[in-house]
A = this chain, B = another copy of it.
């Protein structure tokens, strides 16, 4: 069922536009994927996500495994029906959260044991278990269990994590192949911290196992943005041209445009949703904080160029009022705007690739930001 084709390549950058086909429909790339951690993109309905143009959303395996648990989601034959979303879903493997959010993560031959951040209960996550959970979730695009490490990390730590990641990827692939009924696919995740030779080693080992798509993990974990871009610049060309390339957990619109220029096809980030709940709204001229008193009686929309539901019907003054009064509708209207902004920014970026006007699109983008 899974298939990826490149439709167009930019002549003045490495940017490319493509289409991914999945069992739940197609995804035009480059694509921005909103994050629905616990089976909901915080505050939004699936209809609002569709209206914002979202083609695919993320679910977090770690979170959903702990709450509500696979035995509940299994009753619904997966996350799609459980949460009333029938477009594609990508799930991470849980690795990132086990090493960042859970307590007492301990590696063993089998996998990694950890304590739930919610109730302290002990769990063992293995590569096979990560696949089993993601199959239960009905994910269209599953991710291999990986060991994502913090920045900075020593070369030795990075190498060890990379080796674990490779072994787990091989085991994930085997587990997937055994259960694979063609309804989902599996991506490998390149690690290697900020060491180019380790990134190369990781990419080569994963390619040797062979995956339908490749992600780059372990970026945007605290390193300077230049280093993040340098690692992406180095690693992306190592990956097969004909497979989708996904950079995990990144980033700002500036990050997205630069990473797209380097040949990235897929992005996800909590930035638009989380920042919306903190009152930070993205516009073509940069971000605004809606709590600012300058918006007290501002009857204009958040972004005059934006066609989202929020900008079509509500003023900055109303959004500020709701936000200051901590009205629940504030978080929702802010999130609608930010998700629309990110999703449609990448849609426009894609169109620029198709029209081969990516260079001027990028210049325009920075010119508007400085306004």
Q: Is the CB of A40 within 8 A of B76?
A: no
Closest to A313 in B: B84
Q: Is the CB of B329 within 8 A of A328?
A: no
Q: Is the CB of A38 within 8 A of B327?
A: yes
Q: Is the CB of A75 within 8 A of B297?
A: yes
Q: Is the CB of B76 within 8 A of A315?
A: yes
Partner of A38, one of B71, B299, B320, B321: B321
Chain B proximity mask over A305-328: 1 for CB below 8 Å, otherwise 0? 000000001110110111011011
Q: Is the CB of B299 within 8 A of A44?
A: no
The distance in angstroms between the C-alpha atoms of A67 and B320, with both chains bound, is: 11
**Using Cβ atoms and an 8 Å threshold, which residues of chain B touch A325?**
38, 67
Closest to A298 in B: B75
Closest to A43 in B: B328
Residue A42 lies at the interface, judged by CB distance under 8 Å to chain B: yes
Q: Is the CB of B329 within 8 A of A44?
A: yes
Q: Is the CB of B317 within 8 A of A328?
A: no
Chain B proximity mask over A35-56: 1 for CB below 8 Å, otherwise 0? 0001110111100000000000
Q: Which of A40-89 contact B (CB under 8 A)?
A: 40, 42-45, 67-68, 71-72, 75-76, 82-84
The distance in angstroms between the C-alpha atoms of A327 and B40, with both chains bound, is: 8
Interface residues on chain A, number (Cβ under 8 Å): 34
Interface centre among A71, A313, A321, A331 (most CB of B within 10 A): A321
**Using Cβ atoms and an 8 Å threshold, which residues of chain B touch A40?**
322, 327-329
Q: Which of A74-123 contact B (CB under 8 A)?
A: 75-76, 82-84
Closest to A76 in B: B299
The distance in angstroms between the C-alpha atoms of A313 and B71, with both chains bound, is: 20
Q: Is the CB of B329 within 8 A of A297?
A: no
The distance in angstroms between the C-alpha atoms of A348 and B148, with both chains bound, is: 57
On whether A42 and B83 interact (CB within 8 A), knowing A75-B297, A76-B315, the answer reads no
Q: Is the CB of A297 within 8 A of B72?
A: yes
The distance in angstroms between the C-alpha atoms of A343 and B332, with both chains bound, is: 23
Q: Is the CB of A82 within 8 A of B44?
A: no
A37 to chain B, nearest CB (A): 9
**Using Cβ atoms and an 8 Å threshold, which residues of chain B touch A42?**
327-329
A interface with B by C-beta (< 8 Å): 38-40, 42-45, 67-68, 71-72, 75-76, 82-84, 296-297, 299, 313-315, 317-318, 320-322, 324-325, 327-329, 331-332
Q: 9 extra interchain contacts, Cβ-Cβ under 8 A, other than A42-B328, A328-B331?
A: A38-B322, A43-B329, A45-B329, A45-B332, A68-B324, A75-B297, A75-B299, A83-B318, A84-B314
